[in-house]
Structure 1
Amino acid sequence: MNIKKILWASDGSKESDSALRYATFLAEKFEAEILSIFVSEIHFPITSLFPIPEDAIMDIVEKTEKRFENRFIRVSKRLKEKGINSTFKIVRDGAVEGIIKAVRSNGCDLIVMGKHGQGFVERAVIGSNTAKVLRKSPVPVLSVKGKGRKSISKIENILVPVDVSDDTESAILSSLELAEIFNASVTLLYVFWLDENVYDIPPSLVKKLMEKSHKKLDRMANTAKKKFFKPKKRTNLNISISTEVIHGVSPGLAIRYYANRNKIDFIMMNTHGRKGIKRIVLGSEAEKVIREAPCPVLVFRP
């Protein structure tokens, strides 16, 4: 991974504050700069039942923008104390469009933003803006949920959910790069999907299929490791990469439970999964992982 500029998208929420901590941690590790951005969306009410003067709306917008400007100035001072170069932008646009345009025009390599999902409706769509950014972003997106850790000094356990029927290796190779930098271990995880007809399948057949999947997963791990160490000398030749195959009726929830049980603190995955899903689609298993994960999820487009 070549990360030289990180875009941190702030909306003033606790999730975005937590995202800043991860952006700072990564900026220190990669010697990257941070671009802080707030996208100011202007909404004029459609109804005429309780009309609000346009100048009153613009007054609220300008006060909000000034509040974010002052906050970004304080953030920039704190980042400077850590030796991190930073700039900030306040733009008027749609939230998603503003972020994507900023990524393209400023040459950003990574987006770091909060992911919402506390309310019933939000849980159904991750947090609509986060989901749309994940779909449209030309660069990897790190989504952070909730308050998160108060301080981030290390990342020790990286989980990479994979599909053994797919040869995409971007998340695996990138996880090895981060493992080298963080001195972390990597686990490749495949969830053997048991559908509603599971009770019609003999247990012996399920066992054989899982064993076959594990062999494929081991081959993927070995291939990725060879590619990773071949191009150049690596500083850490003892990167730990293990493989696990588990079963579940919902891969997304199975990954969540695995992450909780095994103290995973970072998940990396591609934006597609089984059944030929080529991008994150609301309701897909990939979306469930991003929504339910107990730790940050770094998402790649293959």
Structure 2
Amino acid sequence: MFKHILFPTDGSPASVVAAAHCVRFAADIGARLTILHSSAPLHLFSYEPIVVDEAYEEYRRSRDRLCAECLAPVEELARNAGIPFDSVTVEADEPYTAIITTANNKGCDLVAMASHGRKGIKGVLLGSQTQKVLTHSALPVLVFR
């Protein structure tokens, strides 16, 4: 069966609930877990290099803090369940590409993730990263609603 599961998290309540299910599943089948948080890179242009450097440094500190906050609840669940895990943070313009790339690079054989269940205009405007992973990944994808 599955030996290495990638669980991407955005830190949302839906993601934390799905993480609890994923951790139980991983424990039941004896799989290890890679926890992923993807953040958008900062795209900034200026004639003044010092402004850009300062902005990137502030953004990096803020991003690192947010990543740690998003990963922490899932790490705690995995730690409490005694599941081997590692955590990864990556920058990507599109989270779904970070999910697929990380799953492939880490040798995962399953992607397990939450679905926010957005419909209508919200779904169109925000897009569904889960749907994009389902569409573009060659790996199996387990979706927790």
| TM-score range relative to shorter protein | 0.7 to 0.9
Cα deviation digits, residues 130-168 of structure 1 (max 9, x gap): xxxxxxxxxxxxxxxxxxxxxxxx31111111112x122
Q: Does 1:211 align with 2:64?
A: yes
Check 1:240–1:279 CA distance in 2 against 1; reply closer, same or farther (3 A cut): farther
Check 1:158–1:279 CA distance in 2 against 1; reply closer, same or farther (3 A cut): farther
Note if contact 1:217-1:243 (Cα within 8 Å) is conserved in structure 2.
Answer: no
How far did 1:279 drift?
5.1
Note if contact 2:39-2:92 (Cα within 8 Å) is conserved in structure 1.
Answer: yes
Note if contact 1:221-1:241 (Cα within 8 Å) is conserved in structure 2.
Answer: no
One of 125, 135, 144 as aligned partner of 1:291: 135
CA distance in 1, matches of 2:119, 2:144: 10
Q: Does 1:190 align with 2:16?
A: no
> Normalized against structure 2, the TM-score is what?
0.76
Larger relative contact order (CA 8 Å, sep ≥ 6): 2
How far did 1:222 drift?
4.3
Aligned residues: 132
Note if contact 1:213-1:245 (Cα within 8 Å) is conserved in structure 2.
Answer: no
CA distance in 1, matches of 2:88, 2:10: 12
CA distance in 2, matches of 1:279, 1:218: 26
Secondary structure, aligned partner of 1:249: coil
Q: Does 1:260 align with 2:104?
A: yes
Matching residue of 1:278: 118
How far did 1:225 drift?
4.3
Secondary structure, aligned partner of 1:242: strand
Instruction: In structure 2, list runs of 5 or more residues that go unmatched.
Output: 46-51
Cα deviation digits, residues 181-220 of structure 1 (max 9, x gap): 22111122111023xx612463212321231123203421
CA distance in 2, matches of 1:161, 1:199: 26
How far did 1:223 drift?
4.5
Instruction: In structure 1, list runs of 5 or more residues that go unmatched.
Output: 1-153, 230-236
CA distance in 1, matches of 2:62, 2:87: 16
Moved more, 171-180 or 211-220: 211-220
CA distance in 2, matches of 1:241, 1:250: 24
CA distance in 2, matches of 1:225, 1:262: 18
Secondary structure, aligned partner of 2:44: helix
Instruction: Quote the sequence identity (%).
Output: 21
Check 1:250–1:207 CA distance in 2 against 1; reply closer, same or farther (3 A cut): same
Note if contact 1:188-1:217 (Cα within 8 Å) is conserved in structure 2.
Answer: no
CA distance in 1, matches of 2:75, 2:35: 11
Q: Does 1:173 align with 2:17?
A: no
CA distance in 2, matches of 1:156, 1:225: 15
Q: CA RMSD in A?
A: 2.5
One of 17, 41, 44 as aligned partner of 1:199: 44
